[in-house]
Chain A
Amino acid sequence: MEKDNKLSMVVFSGDMDKVMAAFIIATGAAASGMDVTMFFTFWGLKAIQKDSSLTGKGLFGRMLGLMNRGGIDTIGPSRFNFGGMGRWMMKTMMKQKNVASLPELRDMAIELGVKMMPCQMSMDVLEVGADKMLPATTPPVGVAAFVEEAVHSKATLFI
């Protein structure tokens, strides 16, 4: 199989620090001339929801939507979040050091043409509608769509 100059990545985590790593690698690879595809599944969907509005249809889905707010500015770090204190502290520290914020990194990824694919099955399970996704994302896809991207890629990552 001929491999393209492409990087494919699964973004499974919805933690602020891991999502940040994902977007830094994606923008860095895109800036180096690679085609980049990011497949957002499960908690990772939170990173491409256009805002932190409530999601869910049934009782469990709504409970989950309440406890697990989406939106890239709402997500907290994988460690030491302390109910949002950690997120605030990390954001403040990053700002002091002039590191690009998560929304800026994501905007940059969009500008560089990074392809962002939401996982249909996770959206069904977590009851997150397609209307909640950023306009820059592709329509929801399944595993075969990601596998097709991955087999043509020189590098694949799972975050």
Chain B
Amino acid sequence: MSDPIKPDVNLDLKGLLCPMPVVKLQLAVKKMAAGQIIEGVATDPGVMADIPAWARTSGNELVSIEQQGKEYHFVVRKTT
């Protein structure tokens, strides 16, 4: 399963618990330009609900989020 989108930024959120995954994600997204892609990995199961909610509230596009074993991989495109 290969990802056709090449990320501009990679973010390691492993080991972090609420609220740190969304906080670190926002701090990383803030430094990016509109249209850029960020790919992240987390281990907190809470991100499956939290990152989609963060994307809806902040107005960024969640391209994908999926569980791979004990990790949660996601791709976000900065829209604003």
Contact = CB atoms under 8 A, between A and B. Distances in A.
Interface string B1-33: 000000000000001111110110111000000
Contacts of A111: 27
B58 interface: yes
A141 to B, nearest CB: 26
Given A33-B58, A34-B57, A98 B16 contact: yes
Nearest to A32: B57
A33 B27 CA distance: 11
Contacts, number: 44
A32 B54 CA distance: 5
Assign chain A's interface to a size class.
Answer: 10 to 19
A98 B23 contact: no
Nearest to B21: A31
Contacts of B25: 31
Interface string A75-113: 000000000000000000000011110000100100110
Given A24-B19, A97-B17, A32 B27 contact: no
A158 to B, nearest CB: 20
Contacts of B19: 24, 27-28, 31, 100, 105
26 contacts: A24-B18, A24-B19, A27-B19, A27-B23, A28-B18, A28-B23, A30-B23, A31-B23, A31-B25, A31-B26, A32-B22, A32-B53, A32-B54, A32-B58, A33-B58, A34-B57, A98-B16, A98-B17, A99-B17, A100-B17, A100-B19, A100-B20, A108-B20, A108-B23, A111-B27, A112-B23
